Structure 1
Amino acid sequence: MSILSPKSKGDIGEKFVVKHLRHNGYKILRKNMRNICSEIDIIAYKSDILAFVEVKTRTEGQNIPAVYAVDLKKQRKIISAAFKFISDNKLKNQPRFDVAEVYLNKITHKVESINYIENAFTQGGNYGVF
């Protein structure tokens, strides 16, 4: 059993989420978009939905849901980066903030499951999942 670096684990999760979004009719606008505010893992578009997606990849068997890693400080950074992206690109869409929890098999490092949470948090910094 090899141990994956956090970056490798994250890359596996992000690639899987991109496939998941495309399969569900989303167009991927940007991946790993960085600006002065923060980094956004995936920006996806479908109809009039502009989804800013934070991907959290974990090994199966961890007791704490991955969504909890997106704390208030991280939410604020993502929200700031999203509004900068919207402003810079002169978009009119309301943003939606999603979190994708990806769980990998401990041995094979293959994706075991995904929990895609739409509206996981709001501009007011509240979790939408509770």
Structure 2
Amino acid sequence: MAVHNDLGRRGEAIAKAHLESLGYEILEENWTHGKLEVDLIAYKNGIIVFIEVKTRTGTGFGQPEDFVDDRKQKLLAEAADEYIYLMNHKSEVRFDIVSVLLKAEEYKLNHIEDAFWPIG
């Protein structure tokens, strides 16, 4: 497995543990529909939360959350639409980003709630 895949999986595990510690119920991990993927889908207080996890080892090119660009947001929204349809969810949804800056065994986590509202 490629090093970047290992890094991403470590970041997702850290994000999942963080969310669970805050009372989120993790519904799905790496949920896919066709070529679309959502890292984590969680539930809390009647809201389904679609979470993009971005993990990096440095900030030379920006913060991890900076990599959730308009294109990625649109893909997440498409996946969310399909998930909502399949689950017949009729309540509120939200899009969060969990940014993990990982150095050796230490990390800095930034949970950005309601990070964006899908475009188009």
Pairwise same-fold verdict (TM > 0.5)? yes
Structure with more helix by fraction? 2
Please tell me whether the aligned partners of residues 73 and 119 of structure 2 are also in contact (alpha carbons under 8 angstroms). no
CA distance in 1, matches of 2:106, 2:42: 21
Match of 2:94 in 1: 96
- Counting matched residue pairs gives 119
Percent of aligned positions that are identical? 36
SS at match of 2:119: coil
Q: Which residue of 1 aligns with 2:80?
A: 82
Moved over 4 A (4+): none
Q: TM-score, normalised by structure 2?
A: 0.92
Are residues 71 and 62 of structure 1, via their aligned partners in 2, closer, same or farther at CA, if it must alter by over 3 Å?
Answer: same
Question: 1:93 Cα shift?
Answer: 2.3
TM-score norm. by structure 1 comes to 0.85
Q: Is the CA contact 1:60–1:103 (under 8 Å) kept in the aligned structure 2?
A: yes
* Distance apart, 1:61 and its partner CA: 4.3
CA offsets 1:34-57 (integer angstroms, 9 cap, x no match): 002610000000111211000000
Q: What 5-or-longer segments of structure 1 have no aligned partner?
A: 126-130
Instruction: Show the counterpart of 2:44.
Output: 46
Kept in 1: contact 2:12–2:39 (CA 8 A) = yes
- TM superposition shift of 1:63: 4.8
